Amino acid sequence: MMFSTRAEYGVRVMIALARKRGSGPVPLAEVAEAENLPLSYLEQLVAKLRKQELVHATRGAHGGYELTRDPSTITMAEVVQALEGSLIPMQCFSEPGSGRVLCNHEIDGFENCATKLLWTRVQGGVARALEQTTLAELAEFAEHGPQHAQPARRRNRGGAKPSGRTAVGT
Amino acid sequence: MMFSTRAEYGVRVMIALARKRGSGPVPLAEVAEAENLPLSYLEQLVAKLRKQELVHATRGAHGGYELTRDPSTITMAEVVQALEGSLIPMQCFSEPGSGRVLCNHEIDGFENCATKLLWTRVQGGVARALEQTTLAELAEFAEHGPQHAQPARRRNRGGAKPSGRTAVGT
DNA sequence: TGTTATCCTGACTGTTTAAGTAGGAATTGC
DNA sequence: GCAATTCCTACTTAAACAGTCAGGATAACA
């Protein structure tokens, strides 16, 4: 598996906040009950979102969380990165000095690290998918289904995919 | 992190076998020493590759492993899937009956599961990157560097990326 | 036939991460 | 003051990861 439940749960919280936007702070307990997720765990996740200034907290009674920005300006890349940490497909991307071998090709410099080419492409694919998906789009999808949701911006001109349906197959 | 060392090490073994193609079976100990990886661990990984019929084993003295097919016909999607298992970005993609919550939206059917839309796109991005990268390409890259390596097939016509360099940035 | 090189398998282990739980302190509205 | 809420830290349990180890099966070769 590639992402943990942190990403799953955290994204759900963000979607819930996006859908309740404009009605003041939303208590986390409300989201937890609606989504059937453990409150204490969500608290830890929301802390990460707050540190990245994706949500704003109001303490005390009638407090709760609100989005800091418009959902259409929040990409899933920001959200998932806040929740999961850096979005690297392999450890050697971030920790060149770690004890494990992984990227010994870089040390001796004798040959080109072919696996790094591979992981770079994978990372690019993930990053593209996350950046092109906005919170607004997911919130819209959750409310009205596939018919209204549209990706942020598609770069593929040309006649690809004439179907108006957004793909959600297995 | 998204992939374990299984994928890293296993891909390296495959690249090593691709580069030694045509010279008979390559003993795993040779690969282990060249790449500075633990032999016993590699043995477990190669077993996965063998079960997917990506490599063929010859037992006994002068035995070893060989690729079963031409490297240009082997995509990284096959290799990584053999090593890591299914390439799903989130557990609920495969285990709907697991105890964890994850995809409760599917159960009640009341609203559309927006996160599934997100993970489907992510999975698509990963799958595309892995499918478009062949073993031959990585082996070529490892030997001669970026100048000769070319992706299997690029679908983007138009003037994107005029640089002849294959991107391997951090 | 015995030895050696290699594949093959399963069990075992130490470390890290995931997925929460638990308890309480701080803040605010009434 | 009291209830509702965020906030913070430590703790726990289970699983996965990254190996290690011991031994068995098979084949080449002298």
DSSP assignments along A48-109, one per residue: HHHHTTSEEEE-STT-EEEESS-GGG-BHHHHHHHHHSS--SSGGGT-TTSSS-S-HHHHH-
pLDDT of residue A164: 41
Does the beta-carbon distance from A126 to B130 stay under 8 Å?
no
Q: How far apart are CA B155 and CA B157, in angstroms?
A: 6
Q: How far apart are CA B106 and CA B99, in angstroms?
A: 14
In this prediction, residue B129 has a pLDDT band, given cuts at 50, 70 and 90, of very high
pLDDT of residue A122: 96
User: What average pLDDT does the segment A37-56 reach?
Assistant: 98
Q: Among residues 92-131 of chain A, which lie with CB inside 8 Å of chain B?
A: 92-93, 100-102, 104, 111-122, 124-130
Which of the two residues, B157 and A33, has the higher pLDDT score?
A33
User: Cβ of B167 under 8 Å from any chain A Cβ?
Assistant: yes
**Is residue A37 predicted with pLDDT exceeding 70?**
yes
Does the beta-carbon distance from A120 to B11 stay under 8 Å?
no
Phi and psi at residue B38, in whole multiples of 5°?
A: -65, 125
pLDDT of residue A19: 97
pLDDT of residue A161: 42
Percent of chain B with pLDDT over 90: 66
Distance from CA of A170 to the nearest CA of B (A): 7
Provide the greatest CA pair distance for chain A: 63
**Is residue B51 predicted with pLDDT exceeding 70?**
yes
- Tell me the β-bridge partners of B58: B64
Say which range, B17-21, B105-109, B136-140, has the weakest mean pLDDT. Answer: B105-109
Instruction: Find residues whose C-beta atom lies within 7 angstroms of strand C.
Output: A 4-6, 38, 40-41, 43-44, 58-63; B 25-29, 40, 43-44, 46-47, 50, 57-65, 91, 100-101
**Is residue B16 predicted with pLDDT exceeding 90?**
yes
pLDDT of residue A106: 54
Q: How far apart are CA B81 and CA B154, in angstroms?
A: 22
Distance from CA of A163 to the nearest CA of B (A): 16
Q: How far apart are CA B78 and CA B129, in angstroms?
A: 12
Mean pLDDT for chain A overall: 84
**Is residue A42 predicted with pLDDT exceeding 50?**
yes
Tens-digit pLDDT profile for residues A49-107: 999 999 999 999 999 999 999 999 999 999 999 999 989 998 877 655 544 545 655 55
Q: How far apart are CA A133 and CA A73, in angstroms?
A: 10
pLDDT of residue A146: 78
Q: Among residues 38-57 of chain B, which lie with CB inside 8 Å of chain A?
A: none
| Partner-chain residue, chosen from B7, B125, B146, that has the shortest CB–CB distance to A126 | B125
In this prediction, residue A163 has a pLDDT band, given cuts at 50, 70 and 90, of very low
Q: Which residue of A has its CA nearest to B144?
A: A112
What angle do the packed helices A5-19 and B114-131 form, to 10 degrees? 130
Which of the two residues, A147 and B90, has the higher pLDDT score?
B90
pLDDT of residue B165: 44
User: What average pLDDT does the segment B52-77 reach?
Assistant: 98
Measure Cα distances from A53 to A46, A74, B31 in Å: 10, 11, 48
DSSP 8-state symbol, B94: T
pLDDT of residue A145: 79
**Is residue A166 predicted with pLDDT exceeding 60?**
no
Does the beta-carbon distance from B101 to A11 stay under 8 Å?
no
Stated in angstroms, how far is B164 CA from D16 C1'?
A: 41
pLDDT of residue A115: 94
**pTM of this structure:** 0.86
pLDDT of residue A99: 47
Q: Is the shortest CB-to-strand distance from A101 to strand D under 7 Å? A: yes
User: Cβ of B19 under 8 Å from any chain A Cβ?
Assistant: no
